Chain A
Amino acid sequence: MIRVTDLTKDYGPRRALHSLSFEARQGEIIGFLGPNGAGKTTTMRILTGYMPPTSGEAIVAGYNVMEESIEVRKRVGYLPETVPLYNEMVVQDFLKFMAELRHIPNPEESVADALNMVGMTERAKGYIGNLSKGMRQRIGLAQALIHRPEVLILDEPSIGLDPGQVVELRKIIREIGRERTVLLSTHILSEAQQICDRVIIINKGKIVVEDTPENLQARLVGGERVVLRVRGDAAELSAKIEQVKGVQRLKSNPDGSLEFEYLPGHDVRPEVAKIITNGGYEMLEMKTLSLSLEDIFLELTKEQVVTPKKKRRL
């Protein structure tokens, strides 16, 4: 369980989080999405007790991260973004060390289990410094899972993993997410769509939107998008299509195709088709796309274009 209320974090004069509030229940997998510098890592570092917020409150696994930090840390598994590991240590010794810090009764057994879970049993006796990037990521994950935490916080867990491992990772996360709480950050939108129960999109330290992936898509899709490819004078056709009522955001792509959107309930496709046949164009392709989470993301986190004020000369 995670409950965040009005969380604010300043790094010196720069405000990284602006009064963030959200909640993650037990048995929920939450996806944290946002462009670089949005504040994902900062939020996670506060939730794991690495650093305190400037103001606001965060309850993790039933404890306040400020006042009962140790109790929180006992119950949280954390994979930091940079995957810090001791390169000069042997894999299983490192995991045993982490297990001992967490007072696990059977460290050896837990180490073996965790290694098995991330498919790294073979490299148990090797040095961490000799592992590949993806393997390091898996050891970082094993370290986060070793004490079967109530709350799992993963900062970009799938970075650097091969496709097979990504599938494995998602399986592990879903498995854990059944009874526990998982908060993960990612830049891969399809991933969030596939495994998260809820997606929180943040930008510049503020929550932009928070919903299930399905709802997000339904709520934000303005309409359908049509891609059209014809043989003939595309510019002329474009001008004609623009006249059709209900056509929005018409543009021609560099590959010669045309693209436009229409609102649901105002299907303009028959009329467009008529224009094409009457005008003597040969239609090569007409396909309809739904807006993806990707489009929604780009739309929501788009930089506000600020027109610079004219400089006055003195």
Chain B
Amino acid sequence: MKNIWTIAKREYDNYFASPLAYVIAAGLLFLLGGIFLIILQGSIQQAIFGGGTPVDIGFINQWFYYLLLWTVPALTMRLISDENRTGTLELLLTAPVRDFELVIGKWLGSFLYILSVIGVSFIFAIVANYLAEPGIDQVKMMSSYLGLILIAGALLALGTGISALFNNQIAAFFVTLALFIVLWLLIGIPASFFPSNPAIGDVFRYLQIGNHYESTFNAGVLYLSDVIYFLSLIAIGLFTGVTAVDSRRWR
């Protein structure tokens, strides 16, 4: 277990050694900050004319979720593929580290990185809470963040798993991105092909990421099935990674 932490820590520090991670963090926070200011302005104008609603953090986090779909592939693409390419995997696989510790450590490092960015974005919630009287709906806000964290964990796990399948980080990037676009949008399309058989449509709808966040977590409603969905994605991603690393030995 200590090995997971050792690997995660190195990976986390490594993000801060690369300009890409800074660019992604800065870009995310800049875009979200812009959206925040626009809706804040809307709320303030409403307040001037009397009444109005406080800023909805769920709206920001909705955007955060869309942005994660496009940035996570860049954060995970080199996690394991680059160790393959440069040969450093040989160091890790001949150290007393189990394959699952390696993969979970890698994932955890990227997860901690995203958690840091989410942590910074929490400023928006604090500011919104400060400006509204008597404050924003805190239960809804917490649930929205919890869902966002689960989405990040799931996307990062899938990205980590795919990274272990490749020697080339660009290949890992595009495959990860393609998978995310499927889970975000395309998987929902077949649902409409089965109007007479709602059960089949439900299966496809269940697979779609947004259906587990947009009107549940992000609206302050928690369902166990949503939590299970994200935990399953994490398990699938990590399992893929461990299997891929293990199968490399057998080549």
Would B91 and A98 count as touching, CB distance under 8 A? yes
CB of B87 closer than 8 Å to a CB of A: yes
CB-contact partner of B90 in A84, A87, A88, A102, under 8 A: A84
B250, A78: Cβ atoms closer than 8 Å:
no
Could you say which residues of chain B place their CB within 8 Å of the CB of A22?
A: none
Stretch at the interface among B2-10, B111-119, B120-128, B225-233: B2-10
Nearest CB in chain A to that of B98: its residue:
A70
CB-CB nearest in chain A for B94: A48
Q: Is B211 an interface residue (CB 8 A)?
A: no
* Cα–Cα distance between A93 and B78 once the two chains are bound (Å): 20
Whole-angstrom distance between the Cβ of A17 and the nearest chain B Cβ: 15
Interface hit among A28-36, A49-57, A166-174: A49-57
The A-B contact count (CB < 8 A) is 66
In the assembled complex, which residues on chain B have CB atoms less than 8 Å from the CB atom of A85? 88, 91
Across-interface contacts of A89 in B (CB, < 8 A): 10, 14, 17
| Residue ID in chain A nearest B90 by CB atoms | A80
The answer to whether A88 and B3 touch (CB under 8 A), given A80-B91, A82-B87, is no
Q: Mark A9-26, 1 if CB is under 8 A from B, else 0.
A: 001000000000000000
Please indicate the chain A residues that have their CB under 8 angstroms from the CB of B196 in the complex. none
Contacts A50-B249, A80-B90, A80-B91 given; indicate if A88 touches B96 (C-beta within 8 A). Answer: no
- Residue B132 at the A interface, CB < 8 A? no
Indicate if A74 sits at the interface (CB-CB under 8 A). yes
- Determine whether A73 belongs to the interface, using a CB cutoff of 8 Å to chain B: yes
- A305 CB–B CB distance under 8 Å: no
Q: Are A73 and B96 in contact (CB under 8 A)?
A: yes
Closest to A101 in B: B95
Q: Say yes or no: A73-B95 contact (C-beta < 8 A), given A50-B249, A88-B18.
A: yes
Please name the residue on chain A nearest to B102 by beta carbon: A101
> Assuming A84-B88, A97-B6, is B96 touching A52 (CB within 8 A)?
no
B197 within 8 A of A: no
Which residues from chain A contact B13 at a C-beta distance below 8 Å?
Answer: 93
CA distance A97 to B83 in the complex (A): 15
List residues of chain B with CB within 8 A of the CB of A50. 90, 93-94, 249
Contact call B94/A101, Cβ cutoff below 8 A = no
Residues on B with C-beta less than 8 A from A88 are 14, 17-18
B86 touches A76 (CB 8 A): no
For A54-76 the 0/1 string (1 means CB < 8 A from B) is 00000000000000001001101
CB of B200 within 8 A of chain A? no
> Contacting B93 at CB < 8 Å: which of A49, A76, A98?
A49
Which residues in window 97-128 of A have CB below 8 A to B?
97-98, 100-103
Q: Is B97 an interface residue (CB 8 A)?
A: yes
Chain A residues within an 8 Å CB radius of B249: 50-52
Min CB distance, A114 to chain B, in Å? 15
Q: Is the CB of B96 within 8 A of A102?
A: yes
Chain A 265-276: CB-based contact to B (< 8 A → 1; otherwise 0): 000000000000
Q: Are B87 and A84 in contact (CB under 8 A)?
A: yes
Which A residues are within 8 Å of any B CB, using their own CB?
11, 45, 48-52, 70, 73-74, 76, 78, 80, 82, 84-89, 93, 97-98, 100-103, 143
A-B pairs with beta carbons under 8 Å apart, 25 shown: A45-B90, A49-B93, A49-B94, A50-B249, A51-B251, A52-B249, A73-B96, A74-B96, A80-B87, A80-B90, A80-B91, A80-B94, A84-B87, A84-B88, A84-B91, A85-B88, A88-B14, A97-B6, A100-B2, A100-B6, A101-B6, A101-B7, A101-B92, A101-B95, A143-B91
The 8 tightest CB contacts between A and B, nearest first, are: A84-B87, A48-B94, A84-B88, A73-B96, A74-B96, A100-B6, A101-B95, A51-B249
